[in-house]
Amino acid sequence: MIIYPGTFDPITYGHLDLIERACHIFSTVVVAVAENPGKAPLFTLQERIEMAREATSSFAQVRVESFSGLLVEFVQAKKCRVILRGVRAISDFEYEFQMALSNRKLAPNIETIFMMPKENYSFFSSRIIKEIASLGGELSEFVPPLVERKLKEKLSQL
C-alpha cells in the first residue's frame, strides 16, 4: 500500500498520471485528500473527495480518503510505511525535500517515494488551472470533464 497525499484542489490529469503509475507497482493506492485550511482551498473537502473519487473510479486499487492534522499520523493509522509524492520540475525539489525530511524526523520508519508525471503534465498546477478557468480558458487538456464542469460551476458562484 502507498499513500498519495495532497490538497487536490482540484485533482488534475497530472495527479491521475501519477496515480496510474503507482497502480502498476502497488496493490493499493490511497489518495489522501488533506483538509489543508492553510491553503484556503477553492473547493470544500467533500467536493475535493468526490471529484477525486469520480476521477479515479476506473482504478480498482484506488481508495480516496481524507485527513487533517499530521500526514505521518494518518499514514501510521493506516499501518502504511510509504508516502508517494510527485516531482514535476527542479523547482519542486526544495519543498519536497523539506517535507520528506520533516516527515522522516517525525516518523523515521516512513519513507517518501518520488515519481515523475508525464512530461506533458510537468508545467501545470492546480493554481494555474484555477487561473485559466477563472479567465475562461480551455481546460480539457488539464482536468477530466467532470472537474472542468465543477470548476465552471464553482467559479460562476463566486
Judge whether 21 counts as a catalytic residue: no
Judge whether 149 counts as a catalytic residue: no
Give the length of the chain: 158
Cis peptide, bond prior to residue 5, ω within 30 of zero = no
29-60 as b/e: b if 16+ CB within 10 A:
bbbbbbebeeeebbbebebbbbbbbebbeeee
Stretch of 48-56, 120-128, 131-139, 145-153 lying at the interface with ligand COA (CB under 6 A): 120-128
Stretch of 20-28, 45-53, 124-132, 133-141 lying at the interface with ligand COA (CB under 6 A): 124-132
112 binds ligand COA (CB under 6 A): no
DSSP 118: P
Judge whether 150 counts as a catalytic residue: no
Q: Which is nearer to ligand COA, 71 or 133 (CB)?
A: 71
144 binds ligand COA (CB under 6 A): no
1 binds ligand COA (CB under 6 A): no
- Active-site annotation holder among 48, 88, 130, 150: 88
Q: How far is CA 88 from CA 19, 85, 124, 130, 149, in A?
A: 14, 10, 9, 18, 25
Rounded CA separation 42/9 (Å): 7
Residues that bind ligand COA (CB under 6 A): 5-9, 12, 14-15, 18, 34, 36, 39, 70-71, 86, 88, 99, 102-103, 117, 121, 124-127
